[in-house]
Structure 1
Amino acid sequence: MGEGIRVPLIVPGTRPELAELEERISAERGRISLLYQVLLNSAPIASGWEQMLTAVRNQTSISAGLRELIILRVAVLNRASFEFEAHVPIAVRAGLDGGKIEAVTEKTVSQAFDPREKLALELTDAMTRDVTVPEHLFRRLKQEFDDKGIVELVATVAAYNMVSRFLVALNISH
């Protein structure tokens, strides 16, 4: 692409009115990443984003490994290399092996995944590529996941589509 990030970065500690929000982001995330330095251009968006993504990442019943597979797959499908690279170490910590991480980059869902993972990745592909979820896929999801699990899976896919599309649109790639 060659272009830089399309909006200015807000350097942590430079805007007193953002101090409380920056403290909350740092407490939850351990730092204020490049993504949040862009989001801080709008305090309400940064605040809501942090709350929503914290719920998706840390407060659902979805296993960390399954969550990270979904996040990596969304990043691949949306060509969000920054997101993919940021989540590989998290995926490894969640117990995903290199084979699954590599397989998530393939054009179609491979045999490297167990049935629940394949189902979640099929959902991810449908939502990300086509937006709609075919009825036959939804019936299979209902056989494997309860209503809470389905809501959490769908929210995870939707949230990380938001993340990756934000990153790509604003050229956050390093």
Structure 2
Amino acid sequence: METDETARVPLLDQSDLPEEYRYLFDEDVLGKLNLFRAMGHVPRAMQAYMRFGTALWNAGDLSTRERELAILAVARSCRARYEWHQHVRIGQEAGISVEELRHIARADDTPFPEREQAIMRYAAAVASGTVTGPLFEAAETVTDTETVVGLTLLAGHYLLTARFLDALSVPLDDPFAGWLPEA
């Protein structure tokens, strides 16, 4: 595990939070992540962030695999190591192969079906601020309006997360999986 010596803010422990927010570090072990240890300086916002993120995971009709493809596309687009690292494992659990991860890392979506391509391209464009009419229409064509709105919120949420982690120099929780993960 990397230390918090490189973080711009102290990484908090559960005992550092006000009593009414300590439960947040118990939920699915997420609170033990350095992301939340840094965010814990504003526990009310951390609580809202966690609830919002959970709601976005279920927005629209994206499958778990499609959601992870979108998150990984955002992480790659932003070169967000922390997010990429966290979602390599989650993505694999959702059925994304190491070879597919390597394609995403190279911004090569050619081996993916049309629906997944449109989702990844749209999510990356949201993160980079380059959404065009054709990209939006392609995503809406393979999903629906509710899903595209949810995908937009999801991509924006992970862009926010990437910028938060970068601005505060939040270290990875364990050694980096690498942009081109090994089998």
TM-score when scaled to structure 1?
0.87
Q: Does 1:52 align with 2:52?
A: yes
Structure 1, unmatched stretches of 5+, are none
Partner of residue 11, structure 2: 9
**Contact 2:56–2:154 (Cα < 8 Å) also in 1:** yes
* Partner of residue 133 from structure 2, selected from 122, 132, 135: 135
**Contact 1:61–1:149 (Cα < 8 Å) also in 2:** yes
Q: How does 1:19-30 map to 2 (within 5 A)?
A: 19-27=19-27, 29-30=28-29
Partner of residue 64, structure 2: 64
| SS of residue paired to 1:104 | helix
Structure 2, unmatched stretches of 5+, are 173-183
**Total equivalences in the alignment:** 167
For the residues of structure 2 that align with 1:59 and 1:138, how far apart are their CA atoms?
17
For the residues of structure 1 that align with 2:78 and 2:26, how far apart are their CA atoms?
27
Deviations 1:48-91 (A, max 9, x none): 11111111225653111111111112112212111111111111
Partner of residue 159, structure 1: 157
For the residues of structure 2 that align with 1:168 and 1:38, how far apart are their CA atoms?
11
Q: Percent identity?
A: 26
CA-CA distance at 1:12 after TM superposition: 0.9
For the residues of structure 1 that align with 2:71 and 2:92, how far apart are their CA atoms?
13
CA-CA distance at 1:109 after TM superposition: 3.4
TM-score when scaled to structure 2?
0.83
Structure with higher RCO (Cα < 8 A, 6+ apart): 2
Q: CA RMSD in A?
A: 1.8
User: Which amino acid is the alignment partner of residue 8 of structure 2?
Assistant: R
